Amino acid sequence: MNALHSLFNAITVIFIAVTMFAAGLATTLSALRAVLTDPRLPALAFLANLVAVPLLGWGIAVLFALPAAGFVALILVAASPGGPFGAKLSVVQKGDVIAGTAMQVLLAAVASLTFGPMSTAVLSVADVGTTVSLDVAALVRTVAVLQLVPFVVGLVVRHYARSTAHLWRPVAALVSNVTFMVVLVGMLLGSWHDIVALLGSRTLLAGFVLAVVAFAAGTLLATGPPARRTTMGSIAAVRNVAPPLAAVGIAFDGSQAILGALAAVLVSGLAAALPIAAVLGHRRDDATT
């Protein structure tokens, strides 16, 4: 059991690092500058993802009267923007892929520093029926190293060795996708008793609702044409699994109950966000024919 736990942790680290490395390989300095040229877009994205969605997550957790594990999982997810699948959903919906990718990476980078304080503040104020003690410094160190460093390395490779970046990018993306599935399956299998207990529960519904309202918040708090606005909605709807996983390991000693709730929230969130992106993509295909 200890060997499987260590293997799961190792694969999780690989997933986080390779995903951010792949994002760096896919991002150009010009794309980042283009997004930052109009400060309103990142400012509104920060407001939506770093303030509005965490507060909405808190409200949803209270509204649905979630149990402690589900409450903690929903807050951790809500406080963690910049999920790599958000940029992929911008492709599915035929949206503004460049802005989506750049903003996803920017949010992941900033959230690596804000996740700890935000989740700690909410969980400290909320009555979750359990002792909450997040080591903010440890979270910042863990998430910053696992995300920022690989992204910067990928960005440097893309800038100075473009041909190498083009060769490495498909491999990195494949490893990211495969390890994501392994992590998700590992979370599901390792916590299947807890997940089965959540079937038909309010935790799954809360994760679904969070993704929908996050999409709405991201879309409303954005600038530009509709394609860019809905792209920002996709970015907001898909949260980053890396910081919550780190938090569960650091602050909750790898609690299987919280991991099970976390997997349930993530799966139900994807179940909400993917159809929205698919419908938007279908409509845009029809509009161009």
Residue 202 scores a pLDDT above 70: yes
Question: What is the reported pLDDT for 194?
Answer: 60
Q: What pTM, to 2 d.p., does this model score?
A: 0.78
Question: What is the reported pLDDT for 14?
Answer: 86
Residue 132 scores a pLDDT above 60: no
Q: Report the range of poorest mean pLDDT among 21-30, 36-45, 156-165.
A: 21-30
Question: What is the reported pLDDT for 284?
Answer: 82
DSSP assignment of the chain equals -HHHHHHHHHHHHHHHHHHHHHHHHH--HHHHHHHHHSTHHHHHHHIIIIIIHHHHHHHHHHHTT--HHHHHHHHHHHT----HHHHHHHHHTT--HHHHHHHHHHHHHHHHHHHHHHHHHHHHHS--SS-----HHHHHHHHHHHHHHHHHHHHHHHHH-HHHHHHHHHHHHHHHHHHHHHHHHHHHHHTHHHHHHHTTSHHHHHHHHHHHHHHHHHHHS--SSHHHHHHHHHHHHS--SHHHHHHHHHHSTT-HHHHHHHHHHHHHHHHHHHHHHHHHHHHHHHHH-
| CA–CA distance, 268 with 284 (Å, rounded to integer) | 25
Residue 222 scores a pLDDT above 90: yes
Sign of CA dihedral 189, 195, 197, 200: negative
Contacts of 85 (CB under 8 A, 6+ apart): 238, 270, 273
Structure tokens at 81: 């923007």
Q: Using CA atoms in the order 87, 195, 248, 246, what is the torsion angle rounded to 10 degrees?
A: -30
Question: What is the reported pLDDT for 233?
Answer: 95
Residue 186 scores a pLDDT above 80: no
